[in-house]
Chains A and B, each alone.
Chain A
Amino acid sequence: MTDTTHTKQPKQTHPTKYGFFRLLFFFVSGVLAVIGCYAYPAPALDAKTGGGFLGVFGQFFVFTEQDQRDPLSDVAVGTVKAYAGGGGVGSQLLAKNTLAEERKISLLRQRGKDISNSYFHHSAFIGDSRTEGFLLYNGLTRAGNYGVKALTVDGFFQKQVISNGSGGKITVAEAIQHKEYDTFYVMFGMNELGWASEKTFIAKYGQVIDTIRRYHPNSKIVVQSILPVSAEKSANDPVHNNPKIVHYNTLIEQMCVEKSVDYFNVAARFTDEEGALFAEASTDGIHLNKKYCNLWMDYLKEQVALDSAT
């Protein structure tokens, strides 16, 4: 008689049974890691996903084609005051920014730094002595140099200050007709703060824009805000003071909307907590030194970077 007592047989495991699950585990982990790495960069860590640990996984549910857009594409060109790099107000805003915004700032700065000054060789700069200083301190000898001491929106049409190449001089309005530029950067206003009529100033400024557009219909026109003056200058000068500059900039911005031209609020980059030009930016309270002219250039480069992203 055969012994039918069952003996416990050693458990037979299929040689690849647990190997399969192991493989499956590693495969799924790998997929999750790839998705997590791809979607982790700052753009996804915004208010939508809440950020942080759960945000990393939460973004799986909001990961769409839209999130593949350039992280700077939703930052409006010209309104980069939140990303100021000159300290003061900028620094405060930086401290209050979310992680995503700080990463955008960092990205913006890096992209700006990647742009060479030679990018502006096909640009023209029109303005007064501040523009002149900007051009010289940034070495922009190949750009259109129409920065002239004491130039006004009137002088643009009337003052013969630009060499015509044959010993004579012509106005800026005449000079710009003869050369092609991709972009015109314009800054007027400091020398017109003492005008009797701000309406006249804005009307003339509009005529400057119209003239540029007439001769260069395909060129971009950028109007820059009037830069602030130092606190000391503002307190002691009945004409060149910051409340007046702020008011004029509001009018200039409105003009830009009406004329459909870009408005760059450069002033915001150089304004401290008191609404004045940083003390270290100038010895006379008006003209920027080399360091701040270089920061002004950084600002313009960042705008170019933003323009490329949108």
Chain B
Amino acid sequence: MGRKNYLRLFLTFGLLLGLAVVVSACGEGQDRERDVSAPVVIDMAALSSQLQKELGLEAELAPVEEEVFAYVYDVVPEDYEEAVLLLSTGAAADEICIVQAADGDSKKAIKKQMEARIEAQKESFASYLPEEVAKLDEAIIREIDAYLILIVCANPEQGNAVLEQAIENLN
């Protein structure tokens, strides 16, 4: 085979290879779009444990029954699929709450109750342990797809950082 033929062969393979790379890249882009449209699933127990470990909480938190979540936040069972609530002993305002709302309207209702909870706690701690009100002022309420996450802690920056990492891990 002459030099010209080798050159033609090389160019042909090079073009085919380039085409293959371009086509596969497009394919990956389409897959990425399919992942985003899929519903987000959060391992609530794992996330609550991670938050508890990494937030440097000042109070001992313990998980309570879902019935207690519904009572404390004054929500009806129909509005949520699942909830995890970690409450303090009463020594501090620290709290972690993760809820999977049943639908869009429920999520709005629960968010409203979370905000009401924060205000009620501020009123409660104002005459009891006033230094805890600052934590409540910086309380985090975050929405991730169908989930609502409430965090009250002394280090809200760390709380947001942990949540960002959790969101990244979902993608």
Contacts and interface: CB of A to CB of B under 8 A. Distances in A.
A, B: real partners: yes
A139 B70 CA distance: 11
Interface string A131-165: 01100110101000000111000000000000000
Contact of B60 (A136, A139, A289): A289
Interface in A254-310: 282-284, 286-290
Interface of A: 129-130, 132-133, 136-137, 139, 141, 148-150, 282-284, 286-290
Contact of A149 (B64, B71, B72, B90): B90
A129 B68 CA distance: 16
A283 B68 contact: no
Interface string B70-105: 111000000000000001011110000000000000
Given A136-B68, A137-B87, A283 B59 contact: yes
Nearest to A151: B128
Interface in B36-68: 59-60, 62, 64-65, 67-68
Q: Which of B60, B64, B67, B89 has the most CB of A within 10 A?
A: B89
Contacts of B59: 283-284
10 contacts: A136-B87, A137-B64, A137-B87, A141-B68, A148-B124, A149-B90, A149-B125, A282-B91, A283-B59, A289-B89
B67 A137 contact: no
Contact of A287 (B68, B70, B89, B124): B89
A139 B67 CA distance: 7
A137 B85 CA distance: 11
Contacts, number: 48
Contacts of A284: 59, 89, 91-92
Q: Closest 7 interchain pairs by CB?
A: A290-B62, A284-B91, A287-B89, A141-B71, A129-B90, A150-B128, A287-B90
B60 A133 contact: no
A284 B132 CA distance: 14
Contact of A150 (B67, B72, B127): B127
A121 to B, nearest CB: 12
Contacts of B65: 139
A282 B89 contact: yes
Contacts of A141: 67-68, 70-71
Q: Which of B67, B68, B87, B91 has the most CB of A within 10 A?
A: B91
Given A149-B124, A149-B125, A150-B127, A136 B91 contact: no
